[in-house]
Structure 1
């Protein structure tokens, strides 16, 4: 690259985008890479504070910022992602489907530790929508040394892609509502409509709902019945506290399910139970799921519908970022709640 005065630049070709910023109003591209400078452009460039421009000289062992960003995007992007054209040296990655964003955080940190290379993403294990931008990448200099870029490409693509989106799978869902007060009709159930609303965005197909008394044997029987009918997720509501009449955890254990965790380090949602009966996820849901906008259930739900089997370590890690501030104007998932430190 060679730097030349703007006043002498007529007829030369820009080798980088030039940005125009109007404080408080806009930031955008004033001149695009490849633009041939005309006499009329000189005062405009000077108004942007440009007294010099860069001219590309072939033969340098450097890779231009646009090409570098495209190469980084191609190497980092796994299934469920696509990328756009460079704009001011930056390339965005966007989801091609609704799904769960997966980021290899350790390798992302390695990449960003390289001089002159950056990749920024949304949080790992976040639910994203088709067409949503989930990451962006660029190099800091106008052109970067080839060997640094090649090192960044290796980190981005091996082993496996740095970033991907796991599409949500439509699951058959069975709902077991516990509570003698609901079973006898003393109060009306409010859980089922909430659960249908929360699971619908992931393509859930509800097999049905059954209301049972506080009897662990009956709870176990109905869970197993739903699994036998093809349920891929069973949601068991109510009776999750430590009161003597709350026997739902006993009923879930009575199925022979493997209990991964009971007592999640998340507020609201501490009385949540995560279990598996074979390959079928069984979730014991505390009452807060019905009343609070965002709970532990909202954190684990997208991972279940993305086909992940949560481990005890996954649940333990939810404690970091697991405290909901219960804002009057809830912005979840665009907030800190549920942003686990798990890498």
Structure 2
């Protein structure tokens, strides 16, 4: 990962900066439209007049007003989870210098899933509010284990060692989890609803539990743009620039763990958001993480909320959960991006 990954000239860097500055207001406008669609659209059609009245003169006895208000926590959950996954995915790709990095590479999803299974099987947890803390603890513990294993040896936590340790731990934890599920039908039934990945059915109580963690994770990770830019040049170059590589990776990894753990805890494992969005952003901003991170925070919730809206219309009168829809949308988009750009520079 050499310096050739950075802007090839000062002129190219200025063009990327101008493009990024212009794109932020446009991204905010599109995000606002997507949020409006999330509140207004669904299996039950709501007229624009009724939609406005639901906010200007809310009537609890009006079913349409109640439907609109019931979609607010669902939309807020999509915004929070999308922002967390987008920023975490971008930072994870930067700290691991791996263009295919996502919450699975650090064992986050596997750790969270195993902890939820343990909560159901051992402690009899049946409510989503109880899953949250097990999922968060499992995600954090798995990431710490991966980083600890990868840090062993003289070279420390290199990108290759992080990927190998994450893959090995994910395989082990998943095997242990499925060995429990196949022997206990009740645990399997309770786990299936969380595993599919969804932003529906999440109330303000759950949002209130998770939002502070996501806020802390976003603040911590958004300020690592310069760190990730230096790491993208290689460890030796980063050390030559005066950066403490091990500490930098640890700080960034902490932000990633907080974001992934919180997002996975409330919504379940949602694929492709943290993988696809950073690649889309690089097409607009170039390789500068000072732009990639904030753009990922805007575009990822756009994708997740839009996927949730699409899922409401695919199989009426039922719905397809957002975790399934993001995979359906994200897979072909990612293939197109890879074929178009050949190799994304990190």
TM-score, length of structure 2 as denominator length: 0.25
More strand by share: 1
TM-score (norm 1): 0.25
More helix by share: 2
Q: Between Structure 1 and Structure 2, whose CA radius of gyration is higher? A: 1
